[in-house]
């Protein structure tokens, strides 16, 4: 499916503020006691970290445990996670924009002390590990140690933004909305969207194809929509009752994984089972 009409917006100003460094280091990984909210892959693609709303971390494959936020007093639930290029650390972000650093992840700033128009919904790291972007539900983008390329913070959206995905070169990013509308910034290329389609379930995430300029969108029911990226399958009709997909993670070798709120992982393409 392709939507040929490009939705592109003008870059707006970014707010870059910081609060303080909060670092928590643990020694072992425990199963997530709360519903999973986000996942991210190791540099090799042979492992993933799975994070719940309390900051609990589950490791799979070659992902090492570098700590969790379960012992911290969080002002807002964790909503996103991003790994460092070395895979020796990761950041987590809460809905208030508070950022927590683990392992070799360096704290670059947060919106923890800022009054946000809409809560933060996700984060992504730069390819060089110099920093990260936070994105809010209104499409406001906050850059810390990362280049700001634009946002939809001042645009009237048909549906809330649910994620930000950097390009392979790290010189731009896509924002994706709950209705599958895709917004491009920097060197990100528009390849299509589900913005004009009637979806069975809302879009919850996006991942870029490491081998090209395309991307995948995933819906809450596990449906996958591919745009200039190979389609390897979906989890639609395969989820247990009450479960839903929360994240799609691209695999370096070609393929992707879908992660659900219960912590189940579905592998597609060349992505090995974990």
pLDDT at 12 over 70: no
E strands present in 21-88: 36-41, 47-52, 57-61, 78-83
Kindly state whether residue 26 falls inside one of the protein's structural domains: no
Kindly state whether residue 257 falls inside one of the protein's structural domains: yes
Average pLDDT value for residue range 115-119: 95
Kindly state whether residue 13 falls inside one of the protein's structural domains: no
59-107 pLDDT tens trace: 999 999 999 999 999 999 999 999 999 999 999 999 999 999 999 999 9
Instruction: Determine the 3-state secondary structure of 9 from DSSP.
Output: coil
Top-confidence residue, 147 or 14 = 147
Long-range contacts of 11-14 (CB under 8 A, 24+ apart): 11/148, 11/149, 11/150, 11/151, 11/185, 12/150, 12/151, 12/152, 12/153, 12/154, 14/141, 14/142, 14/143, 14/148, 14/151
Residue 125 has a CB neighbour count (10 Å cut-off) of: 24
Average pLDDT value for residue range 156-166: 96
Q: Which domain, by its residues, includes 176?
A: 36-269
Kindly state whether residue 223 falls inside one of the protein's structural domains: yes
Query: Burial, 106: exposed, middle or buried (Cβ in 10 Å; 0-12, 13-18, 19+)?
Result: middle
122-141 pLDDT tens trace: 999 999 999 999 999 999 99
Of 233, 232, 168, 225, nearest to 202 (Cα)? 225
Kindly state whether residue 17 falls inside one of the protein's structural domains: no
At residue 219, the pLDDT reads: 98
| In contact, 185 and 173? CB cutoff 8 Å | yes
Kindly state whether residue 6 falls inside one of the protein's structural domains: no
Query: Burial, 62: exposed, middle or buried (Cβ in 10 Å; 0-12, 13-18, 19+)?
Result: middle
Average pLDDT value for residue range 174-183: 97
Residue 8 — φ and ψ, nearest 5°? -130, 140
Kindly state whether residue 27 falls inside one of the protein's structural domains: no
CA distance 191 to 8: 12
Sheet holding 47-52, edge to edge: 36-41, 47-52, 57-61
Of 40, 3, 89, 36, nearest to 256 (Cα)? 40
| In contact, 119 and 141? CB cutoff 8 Å | no
CATH number, domain of 73, equals 2.130.10.10
Rounded mean pLDDT of the chain? 88
Average pLDDT value for residue range 109-126: 94
pLDDT at 10 over 50: no
At residue 5, the pLDDT reads: 31
End-to-end CA gap in the chain:
30
Number of structural domains the chain divides into? 1
- Percentage of the chain modeled with pLDDT above 90: 80
| In contact, 183 and 175? CB cutoff 8 Å | yes
At residue 8, the pLDDT reads: 31
pLDDT at 11 over 80: no
At residue 34, the pLDDT reads: 79
At residue 33, the pLDDT reads: 58
Average pLDDT value for residue range 250-261: 94
Lowest mean pLDDT among 160-169, 210-219, 242-251: 210-219
pTM score, two decimals? 0.87
pLDDT at 26 over 60: no
Kindly state whether residue 251 falls inside one of the protein's structural domains: yes
C-alpha of 185 from chain center: 16
In order, the DSSP letters of 73-112 are: --SS-EEEEEE-TTSSEEEEEETT--EEEEETPPP---ST
At residue 54, the pLDDT reads: 96
pLDDT at 164 over 90: yes
């Amino acid at each position: 499916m392709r939507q040929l009409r490009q939705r592109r917006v003008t870059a707006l100003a970014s707010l870059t503020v910081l609060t303080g460094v909060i670092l928590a280091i643990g020694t072992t990984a425990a199963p997530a006691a709360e519903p999973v909210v986000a996942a991210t892959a190791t540099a090799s693609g042979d492992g993933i970290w799975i994070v719940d709303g309390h900051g609990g971390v589950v490791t799979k494959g070659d992902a090492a445990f570098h700590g969790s936020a379960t012992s911290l007093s969080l002002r807002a639930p964790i909503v996103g996670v991003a790994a460092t290029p070395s895979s020796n650390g990761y950041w987590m972000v809460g809905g208030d924009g508070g950022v927590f650093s683990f392992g070799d992840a360096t704290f670059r700033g947060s919106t923890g002390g800022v009054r946000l128009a809409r809560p933060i919904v996700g984060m992504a790291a730069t390819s060089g590990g110099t920093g990260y972007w936070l994105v809010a539900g209104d499409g406001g983008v906050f850059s810390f140690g990362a280049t700001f390329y634009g946002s939809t913070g001042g645009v009237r959206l048909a549906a809330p933004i649910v994620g930000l995905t950097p390009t392979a070169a790290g010189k731009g990013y896509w924002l994706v909305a709950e209705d599958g509308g895709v917004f491009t910034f920097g060197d990100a290329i528009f390849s299509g969207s589900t913005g004009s389609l009637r979806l069975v379930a809302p879009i919850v995430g996006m991942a870029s194809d490491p081998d090209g300029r395309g991307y995948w969108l995933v819906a809450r029911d596990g449906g996958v929509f591919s745009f200039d990226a190979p389609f390897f399958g979906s989890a639609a009709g395969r989820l247990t009752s009450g479960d839903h997909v929360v994240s799609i993670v691209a695999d370096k070798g070609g393929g992707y994984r879908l992660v659900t709120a219960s912590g189940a992982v579905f592998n597609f393409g060349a992505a090995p089972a974990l």
